[in-house]
A = this chain, B = another copy of it.
Amino acid sequence: MSLREKKVERKKEEIRKSAMSVIAEKGYHATTMEDIAAKLLMTKGSVYYYFKDKESLVYESHKLLLEQSMEQLQNVLAEELTSVAKLRKAMVVHMENVITGRTDFFIGVKPDQVFEGEHLQEILHLRNQYSDCMNRLIQQGMEDGSFVQVDMKIVNYIILGAMNNAVIWYSPKGSKSIEELANSIADYLLKILL
């Protein structure tokens, strides 16, 4: 990657971050290109130099976030840990992504309210992949006897729902750090499986 390309990539990253951050706060439709640009002391026009349109900007932002989360999740999966430890770690990582990732995107806004066509397919695909990974974690635990038998799909939704919900009420001013909170939640949720 040339120096120029790196610069462009860095700029795009800045814009993506700004976009996700504003959208997390105001919601997709209520967020204007101007909001996103203003936060970076740019103008609307400049943003369009880097991104074709609003949907593309959000698509790329969201995709990256999902991919990064996916990668982390897979790293966890590859670690040499007990099923319980793995799932707990996956949960903690997930919560950190949800909260610091400023993404109120795992929840609430249904992807088809924002994306269309191939973009929508890709996002749904990534989400499913992520979900599948979580399912595998649960599956493994059930197989090796660490977890009791449960309806994997439902429990998965419970876990994801409980964790994603945190983005709504989590406040950095609270007494617990994200990690502590994540661990607490993970502990409680694990009870379902033990």
Chain A residues proximal to chain B, CB less than 8 Å: 26-30, 104, 107-110, 113, 150-151, 154-155, 157-166, 168-169, 181, 184-185, 188-189, 191-192
B164-A30 in contact (CB<8A): no
A113-B161 in contact (CB<8A): no
B168-A110 in contact (CB<8A): yes
Q: What is the CA–CA distance of A181 and B159 in the complex, to the nearest angstrom?
A: 15
B166-A164 in contact (CB<8A): no
- Known contacts A107-B165, A157-B166, A189-B192; 12 additional CB pairs below 8 A are A26-B113, A27-B29, A27-B109, A29-B29, A107-B108, A154-B181, A155-B188, A157-B162, A159-B162, A161-B161, A161-B162, A191-B192
Q: Which of B155, B161, B163 contacts A166 (CB 8 A)?
A: B161
A189-B158 contact given A107-B108, A107-B165, A165-B165, CB 8 Å threshold:
yes
Q: Which of B154, B157, B160, B188 contacts A192 (CB 8 A)?
A: B188
Chain B nearest CB from A123 CB (Å) reads 14
Q: Give the residues in chain B near A188, CB-CB below 8 Å.
A: 150, 154-155, 158, 192
Q: Give the residues in chain B near A107, CB-CB below 8 Å.
A: 107-108, 165, 168
Can you name the residue of chain B whose Cβ is closest to the Cβ of A151? B184
